[in-house]
Amino acid sequence: METKVSAVGGDSRVITIFDTTLRDGEQAPGCSMNQAEKLEVAKRLESMGVDVIEAGFAIASPGDLASIREIARVVRGSVLASLARSVELDIDAAWEALRGAERPRIHTFIATSPIHMEYKLRMKPDEVVERAVEMVRYARKRCPDVEFSAEDASRSDPAFLCRVFTAVIEAGASTVNMPDTVGYATPNEYAALVRAVRAGTPNIGAAALSVHCHDDLGLAVANSLAAIEAGADQVECTLNGLGERAGNAALEEIVMAMRTRRDVIGARCGVDSTQIYAASRLVSAVTGVRVQPNKAIVGENAFAHESGIHQHGVLANAKTYEIMTPESIGLPRNRMVLGKHSGRHAFDERLSELGFRFDTERTARLFEAFKALADKKKTVNDRDLEALARDAAPERPEEWKLERFIINSGSTITATSAVRLVSAGRGAEARRVESVATGDGPVDACFNAIDKIVGSGATLEDYSVDSVTGGKDAQGEARVRLAREGRAYNGYGVSTDVIEASVRAYVDAINAMVAETASVDDIPATDRSA
Ligand code: KIV
Ligand code: ZN
């Protein structure tokens, strides 16, 4: 069993970073990711030095279980956790998903606040303690590393919380977590709860004390930092602050606050901050959730100095208005512009400066797409490259590829489109299929034609088109979200022609759906019933 317990005070405390982008983050509406996307995010988290990656909630769906299992097979550097309610079936599913991991952790939870116990669980406090202990013991028989969370801890009676923690640590929990589940706490209050738990849990020294904050009042990061200062050992967070409702504490803000204000916070962590920008862009790309421009650390404007006074100050001495450098999060200071005369070397170098690490085949495909774009567009900047990287080099297998489309549309005629797709055929012969459909405008007509070909049975939940950069020759990036049987599938497409971008995004979402169905088909039937 591995426990990381830090001493309070001084500069030597190392905080364990527990990332739950793939579990709590994925629970946010419209943030679902497919298996290949989750694996890509997990690999990035591992490479950044994140200590614990919560890879999912195995019992939630066969797709979740399959994704955790795949991440467990590939990711070696970080501890891998799966969430489980305090019931045997959940813990069995979590263990089933994690058993191949080098460093597995079962994360089990039960609510401890009066309102949750009475109305949600319909259990008496004594029954909650008994269940928590029983399930921690049950989990420990399978896995040496067990974390216990007291859901809604911030609205629980502190004395009862200490009683539960004492009992579960005695039963073998090596981490105890005190979530502010509904984002209700304030920094002073939450810090006081950390101190109360430390003081009132006699065996707390045998476990790490974790905090997990939601952002309903916009206080998640402030609460997490206050908790760290008060003696928390582990902080649970997500990239871009994704998560239920208003989200979770943002990893990038916590890491950079500890780095920038170590003088007052007195703690640090092992995350390589120079990978933050690339990780943030990746999560935004795979979830289809854009980062607001003024978002701290990773927003488009976070390092932009617009006003003359600020620009003058920064030119004289960057520290006048810059409390951290763009390079410290992996954002190149100079926005380099490439064009059709740029060679492979400059292209490869810029990709790597932007934090992309693709294999040779993917990089070659991307270079071809870059050349094609540079023929249409005078200059190709970093945002163009990021968009291309997402579109031209997807991680997952592509069941369907767009070969061509033709549209006939105008203000006085019904839009008609003919779309031709090529199917990889999953082991069988590739085939070309063409379909014609009408619609309410050219995009609708194209989507209808694709539906006729693939017969997905999905509904279009969301569709948007934005321009990647300014200018008449800008690329349009389209995002599509399809829904089927309660699951959402995101698609992304980019082109200087917005109809083409839309069609590519729609086909991409279909491919996400096919890939997930395929990954679930790979799970033995016995596991699927878990
Ligand atoms: O917010 C919460 O309480 C949680 C727990 C399940 C850890 O996400
Ligand atoms: Zn949560």
DSSP 8-state class, residue 327: G
Judge if the beta carbon of residue 212 lies within 6 A of ligand 1: yes
Average pLDDT over residues 333-359: 84
CA 447 to CA 425: how far, in whole Å? 21
Q: Which stretch, 323-327, 331-335, 482-486, has highest mean pLDDT?
A: 323-327
Closest CA to 204 of 194, 192, 217: 194
Same-domain check for residues 492 and 505: yes
Q: Compute the average pLDDT of residues 230-238.
A: 98
pLDDT in tens, 189-210: 999 999 999 999 999 999 999 9
For 233, 342, 389, 496, the CA distances from 384, given in Å and listed in that order, are 40, 14, 9, 10
What percent of the chain lies above the pLDDT cut of 70? Answer: 92
Q: Is residue 376 part of a domain?
A: yes
76 and 133 housed in the same domain: yes
| 2-6, 204-208, 305-309, 427-431: range with highest mean pLDDT | 204-208
Count how many domains the chain has. Answer: 3
Residues 378 and 449 in one domain: no
Cα 154 to ligand 1 centroid, rounded to whole Å = 11
CA–CA dist 20, 114 (Å, integer): 26
Mean pLDDT in residue range 363-385: 89
Tell me: the pLDDT tens digits for 111-151? 999 999 999 999 999 999 999 999 999 999 999 999 999 99
Q: Is residue 148 part of a domain?
A: yes
Give me the mean pLDDT over the 384-395 stretch. Answer: 78
CA of 151 to the centre of ligand 1 (A): 6
Q: Are residues 388 and 267 in the same domain?
A: no
426 versus 269: the higher-pLDDT residue is 269
Cα–Cα nearest to 139, from 89, 207, 194: 89
Domain presence at residue 529: no
Q: Are 18 and 107 in contact (CB under 8 A)?
A: no
Decide if 5 is inside a domain: no
Q: How many angstroms does the Cα of residue 452 sit away from the middle of ligand 1?
A: 42
* 306 in any annotated domain: no
pLDDT at residue 80, as a whole number = 98
- 323: nearest Cα among 336, 310, 334: 310
Instruction: Locate the ligand 1 atom nearest the alpha carbon of residue 24 and give its number.
Output: 8
Ligand 1 atom at minimum distance from 27 CA: 8
Same domain flag for 358 and 463:
no
| pLDDT exceeds 90 at position 521 | no
Q: Which of 89-93, 217-221, 491-495 has the lowest mean pLDDT?
A: 491-495
Which pair of tokens denotes residue 469? 């950069």
pLDDT value for 431: 86
Residue 302 belongs to a domain: no
pLDDT value at 389 more than 90: no
Q: Give the whole-angstrom CA distance, residue 316 versus residue 302.
A: 20
Domain boundary among 349, 372, 395: 395
CB of 57 within 6 A of ligand 1: the answer is: no
Residue 7 — very low, low, confident or very high, per pLDDT cuts 50/70/90? very low
For the Cβ of 90 lying below 6 angstroms from any atom of ligand 1, the answer is no
* Best CA proximity match to 445, nearest among 504, 499, 507: 499
* Per-residue exposure over 57-71, b if at least 16 CB sit within 10 Å of its own CB, e if not: bbbbbbbbbbbbbbb
- In contact, 264 and 13? CB cutoff 8 Å: no
Mutation pick for ligand 1 pocket among 107, 148, 151 (CB with most ligand atoms within 8 Å): 151
Are 183 and 151 in the same domain?
yes
With cut-offs at 50, 70 and 90, classify the pLDDT of residue 530: very low
Q: Dihedral sign for Cα 396, 529, 88, 141, please.
A: negative
Query: 268 and 226, same structural domain?
Result: yes
* pLDDT, mean of residues 487-497: 89
Domain boundary among 395, 410, 441: 395
Closest CA relative to residue 325, chosen from 375, 256, 269? 256
The domain boundary, picked from 395, 422, 446, lies at: 395
> Which residue is listed with tokens 């406090």?
125
> What does the block give as tokens for 223?
């609460």
**Most confident residue range from 277-286, 383-392, 508-517:** 277-286
Please work out whether the CB of residue 181 comes within 6 Å of at least one atom of ligand 1.
yes
pLDDT digits (tens, 9 = 90+) for 399-456: 899 999 999 999 999 999 999 999 986 655 678 999 999 999 999 999 999 999 999 8
For residues 352 and 264, membership in a common domain is answered with: no
- Looking at the structure, do residues 78 and 140 belong to the same domain, yes or no? yes
- C-alpha separations of 403 from 187, 336, 390, 510 in Å: 55, 32, 19, 15
219 and 165 co-located in one domain:
yes
The residue range of the domain holding 510 is 400-521
Interatomic CA distance for residues 194 and 258, integer angstroms: 18
At 395 the pLDDT is 64
The overall average pLDDT reported for the chain is 90
Q: Determine contact, residues 244/232, Cβ cutoff 8 Å.
A: no
> Does 151 contact ligand 1 (Cβ within 6 A)?
yes
Q: For residue 2, is pLDDT > 60?
A: no
Band of pLDDT at residue 522, cut at 50, 70 and 90: very low
The CATH number of residue 512's host domain is 3.30.160.270
Q: Do 467 and 387 sit in the same domain of this protein?
A: no
Which pLDDT value is given to residue 518? 67
Q: Which of 21, 27, 83 to mutate to test the pocket of ligand 1 (most atoms within 8 A of CB)?
A: 83
Residue minimizing CA distance to atom 1 of ligand 1: 181
Rounded CA gap, 192 and 205, in Å? 18
Tokens in use for 207? 């476990």
What is the reported pLDDT for 117? 98
Q: Are residues 410 and 382 in the same domain?
A: no
Cα(214) to centroid(ligand 2), Å? 6
Locate the ligand 1 atom nearest the alpha carbon of residue 214 and give its number: 1
Residue 298, in any domain of the structure: no
Asked whether residue 227 is domain-assigned, the answer is yes
Helices (DSSP H) in 12-124: which residue ranges?
35-48, 62-74, 88-98, 114-115
Cβ(382) – ligand 1 distance below 6 Å? no
Q: How far apart are CA 69 and CA 399, in angstroms?
A: 23
- In short, whether 24's Cβ falls inside 6 Å of ligand 1 is yes
pLDDT of the residue at 514: 87
CATH number of the domain encompassing residue 277 = 3.20.20.70
Does ligand 1 come within 6 angstroms of the Cβ of 16? no
Strands 413-423 and 431-439, how do they pair?
antiparallel
Q: What are the tens digits of pLDDT across the range 29-66?
A: 778 888 888 999 999 999 999 999 999 999 999 989 99
Minimum mean pLDDT among 154-158, 264-268, 426-430, 437-441: which range? Answer: 426-430
pLDDT at 11: 54
- 522 versus 112: which is more confidently predicted? 112
DSSP H or E run through 505: helix 498-521
What's the pLDDT at 400?
A: 93
Q: What is the pLDDT averaged over residues 62-91?
A: 97
- Number of neighbouring beta carbons within 10 Å of residue 522: 11
**Alpha-carbon gap, residue 36 to 60, rounded angstroms:** 18
- Residue 393 — pLDDT band, cuts 50, 70, 90? low
- As a three-state string, the secondary structure of 374-421 is HHHCCCECHHHHHHHHHHHCCCCCCCEEEEEEEEEEECCEEEEEEEEE
Give nearest CA residue, ligand 1 atom 5.
151
